[in-house]
Amino acid sequence: MRLAGVGMEHALIIGASGGIGAALTDALEARGAGVTRLSRSADGLDIIDEASVSTVLGALGGPYDRIIVASGILGTPEKSIAALDATEMARVFAVNAIGPALVLKHAQRLIPRDRVCRIAVLTARVGSIGDNTMGGWYSYRAAKAAANQIVHTAAIEIGRKRREAVVVALHPGTVATPFTEGYPAHKKVEASEAAENLLRVMDGLGPSDTGGFFDWAGKVVPW
């Protein structure tokens, strides 16, 4: 963590040891922001264990001008519904949907009341029901769709008490990290470029955009 001074942006990155999380941290620190980076490997933060989330986030002082949940897993993408495995599906849901929900639950006290703050959960375009024309990937698609609903619902509730809060789901694109090594032949961008894209999109969002789902270029993604 870099200590933040007066006038400096305070940011919290959940999943900071991953490819995108680390790149986001580096990009924010290059801007001069004070960044608190949290991960399971470095801080023991297990986002699917509420006691862990409560303890780790409860030890933070805040408030933060920017909070990004960059954790997630792909699991084993199913090519057909016959390939579904209940245990694996539950694991994918736990990390990609329940984890972000627990972070949002326990991060509310870290959000300032007197200024704009931006909270983003990295989901994925494949979580869009309206954009699904290919099928497959049942567990990952459904978990990301659930995460989108959680973000949208939390944005409504948070906005009642913190009218300047911006809570959104973001699709980072296909990023060249170990996470996407098994992806089909999609065009990939480096994590550093993806981080800059995401921060640029976040910077351009205001309270009227809260609850939305946006891609790396700032375009609205259908639910």
Structural domains of the chain, with CATH: 10-215 (3.40.50.720)
Q: What is the pLDDT of residues 37-94, one digit of tens each?
A: 999 999 999 999 999 999 999 999 989 999 999 999 999 999 999 999 999 999 999 9
DSSP the chain: -PPP-TT--EEEEETTTSHHHHHHHHHHHHHT-EEEEE-HHHH---TT-HHHHHHHHHT-----SEEEE---------SSGGG--HHHHHHHHIIIIIHHHHHHHHHGGGS-SSS-EEEEEE--GGG-STT--S---HHHHHHHHHHHHHHHHHHHHHHHH-TTEEEEEEE---EESGGGTTS-S---EEHHHHHHHHHHHHHT--GGGTT-EEETTSPBPP-
Q: What is the pLDDT of residues 162-219, one digit of tens each?
A: 999 999 999 999 887 655 555 555 677 899 999 999 999 999 999 999 999 999 999 9
pTM for this prediction: 0.92
Q: What is the pLDDT of residues 39-50, one digit of tens each?
A: 999 999 999 999
